[in-house]
Each structure stands twice: as C-alpha cells, then as structure tokens.
Amino acid sequence: MKENNFLSVFKNVKPIIGMLHLKGNDSEDVFERFKKELNIYIKSGIDGIMVENYYGNYDDLKRALEYIKANNINIPYGVNCLNVDYMGFHLAKEYDCDYIQVDSVVGHVKPRDEFTLKAFFDLMRKNYKGYVLGGVRFKYQPVLSEKTLKEDLEIAKTRCDVVCVTQDKTGEETSLERIVEFKKELKDFPLFIAAGVTKDNVKKQLKYADGAIIGSYFKNNFEDNGELCLEHIEELLKTVREIRGETK
C-alpha cells in the first residue's frame, strides 16, 4: 500500500474542495456552465475541485475532464462518477485526476458481498495511483453492515486515503457529534466533511476535520440547484484563512 500523502496534494492545510455539479439544459449548456464555474473557482483561490455528474451525465463528465487536462488547469482536481464507481476510476486514470470520490467504500453491501468489494478496491487501487476519498455511512447510501462504526472505519482505511462524512442528505449540516465520533476512531487518518459546511459552522467543524467538500453553500441560493456564487465562496474561504492564520 502506498504512503498516504493525500493532504500534500494541496498548498494549504484544511483544504476546501469545490463541487462542479454539471448543471445545464443540454450538453452545450452544461459545458459552457462548467467552464464558467471553473473560472469562478480559480478566481476564488479554492484549494481543489471535484467534477461530479450530479446533474449531467457520463459524457458531460468526460468532456469536462478532457477540458481540464487539455488546458493544464493549475488546480488539484478529481471526479465522482455517481453510482458506477468503476467508471469513476476509469476517468480518474484516463484524465490524470489527483483524486477520486467514492460515496461508499464499506458497509453498503451485504456482508457476503464485502469480499467482492474488497477485491474491487484492491484491483482499482492497483491500476489507479491517485488518491481515493471514501464515504462511510454516507448520505443516500444504504447501511447493510453488521459491524460497528469503528470496525467499518478500520476497513475503510485500507480502501481509501480520506474518509468522508455527511449527515443524511445533500446540503444538510453534518452534526459536530458525528464529526467528532468519526475523528475519534480515525485519529491521524484524514477526515473530510462532504455536506452541509457553511461559513457559520466551518470553524468549529474544521477544528476536528482535515478539510471539506462543498457544493450547495457555494450557490447563490445555498441549495444544490442554484448558480455558483463567487461571493459565497470568498466569504467561506475568508473564514478558512483565518483558521489557517493567513491573511489575504
């Protein structure tokens, strides 16, 4: 197993990754919105980006990643291909992504199928040399595990480089109690909050977590269906820089 240096991908401690949801009325609209949003993130000084087919489809994901790679965008980037993890790994390798997000790496299949899941991650991680952000007890994912959270987190640490924690749905604040519970078990292993981070809770949450993935809060209406808003990104990053002891 390679050494876990995921946090070294970023220039700053407590990195913030911004989501690109690939919203649009058709493929051309999706692509034009993606380019506009990408430029907003770059202008904001965000630490990294994640391209996800939350609204768009696989072809939209591929086109976006092609654009990032072809234009040598100087920002760490990753991909989350929802519901078909194999294709996410394929895209991550094809387009030199720094990391991939997988919404669940353990506990969402029947105990019998955990053996198959282990074999899947062993194979994928052999073929893809980037980093894996893996959800545990993640939003919208079934919990079929018969193990304790502590046991599943130990398994997760063998399948990913960062554990991602959420509450129950997109945009919902992840409880501090849940974050603390995860971090207590993970100790020095990286933990990212992947839903519900705002400028009002980021300071207390990043006291325990090592970074965050943010989508909804960065929209003009603070919901996933809104338009990306530079002001919201800058407001949150200002607070994060205060946590880091930076000035800008």
Angle at alpha carbon of residue 18, lines to 16 and 22, rounded to 5°:
170
128 neighbors 159 (Cβ within 8 angstroms): no
pLDDT at 4: 64
Residue 1 has pLDDT above 90, yes or no: no
Q: How far apart are CA 236 and CA 110, in angstroms?
A: 39
What is the value of pTM for the model shown? 0.94
pLDDT at site 245:
86
Residue 60 is encoded by which pair of tokens? 């939209």
Return the structure tokens found at 74: 């100087």
Between CA 143 and CA 146 the distance in angstroms is 9
- Of 162, 231, 240, the residue nearest 197 (C-alpha): 240
Q: What is the pLDDT at residue 3?
A: 59
- Using DSSP's 3-state secondary structure scheme, residue 108 falls into coil
Residue 199 has pLDDT above 60, yes or no: yes
The token pair at 183 is 């971090």
pLDDT exceeding 90 applies to what percent of the chain? 93
Q: How far is CA 151 from CA 137, 160, 185, 193, in A?
A: 12, 15, 9, 20
Mean pLDDT of the 5-28 span: 96
Mean pLDDT, range 156-165, rounded to an integer: 97
Q: How confident is the model at residue 219 (pLDDT cuts 50, 70, 90)?
A: very high
Per-residue pLDDT, 169: 84
The reported pLDDT for the residue numbered 163 is 98
- Give the phi and the psi of residue 239 in degrees, each rounded to 5: -65, -40
Per-residue pLDDT tens for 60-101? 999 999 999 999 999 999 999 999 999 999 999 999 999 999
Query: Which of 162, 158, 164, 75 lies closest to 124, judged by CA?
Result: 158
pLDDT at 140 over 70: yes
Class of domain 14-244: alpha beta
- Residue 137 token pair: 């007890």
d(CA 59, CA 117): 26
